[in-house]
Chain A
Amino acid sequence: MWRWWWLLKTLLVLGVIQFFCLSARTQEVAYAANMPLNGSEVSLSYVDKKIKNFRSKDHQLVGLIIRRSIFENFSFRNSNLSGSKIQDSVFNGGDFIGVNFTDAFIADTQFTNCILPLHFKSEAILINVKIQNCRYQ
Chain B
Amino acid sequence: MIFFNRHVQEIFTCKKNQIYGIFLSFSHLLTAYFWYRRDFDTDGIVCWQFFSNCQFLTRHLFSELSVDLIIYGSLSFFCMGLFFLKKEKPAYFLFLALSVFKMIVQLSDYRFMGNYHYMSNVINFVFLFLPNKKNIVKSFLVLFYVAAGLIKFNLDWFSGAALINPSIFSGRLLIFSCAYVILLELVFSIGLLSTQRKYFYFVLAQVCLFHLFSWHIVGYFYPVIMLSLISIFFLSPAEFCFPKELVNLVAIGLFIFAQGLPLVLDPHSSLTNKYRVYALNMLDADSECETRMLIKKKDSTIEYRPDFSKIAIRIHCDSVFIVKKVHATCQYFSPDPDFTDIDFDFQVRRSSERNDIEQLTYKNVCSHPLKINAVSGAAYQ
Residues of A within 8 A of B (CB): 1, 4-5, 7-8, 11-12, 14-16, 18-19, 22-23, 25-26, 67-68, 87-88, 107-108, 125, 127-128
Contacts and interface: CB of A to CB of B under 8 A. Distances in A.
Contact of A88 (B201, B213, B302, B307): B307
Given A23-B216, A108-B307, A127-B302, A15 B209 contact: yes
Contacts of A125: 302
Contact of B208 (A15, A127, A128): A15
A127 B215 contact: no
A71 B209 CA distance: 41
A68 B209 contact: no
B244 to A, nearest CB: 30
Interface of B: 165, 168, 197-198, 201-202, 204-205, 208-209, 212-213, 215-216, 220, 295, 302, 304, 306-307, 309-310, 328-329, 332-333
B233 to A, nearest CB: 12
B332 A128 contact: yes
B212 A127 contact: no
Nearest to B212: A15
A128 B304 CA distance: 11
Contacts of A25: 168, 216
Contacts of A23: 215-216, 220
Contact of B304 (A8, A88, A127): A127
Nearest to B167: A22
A61 B295 CA distance: 26
A135 to B, nearest CB: 21
Closest 4 CB pairs of A and B: A22-B216, A15-B212, A11-B205, A26-B216
12 contacts: A8-B204, A11-B209, A14-B209, A15-B209, A15-B212, A18-B212, A22-B168, A67-B307, A88-B307, A88-B310, A107-B304, A108-B307
A72 B50 CA distance: 39
Contact of A12 (B168, B202, B205): B205
Given A127-B332, A128-B329, A107 B306 contact: yes
Given A8-B205, A88-B310, A19 B197 contact: no
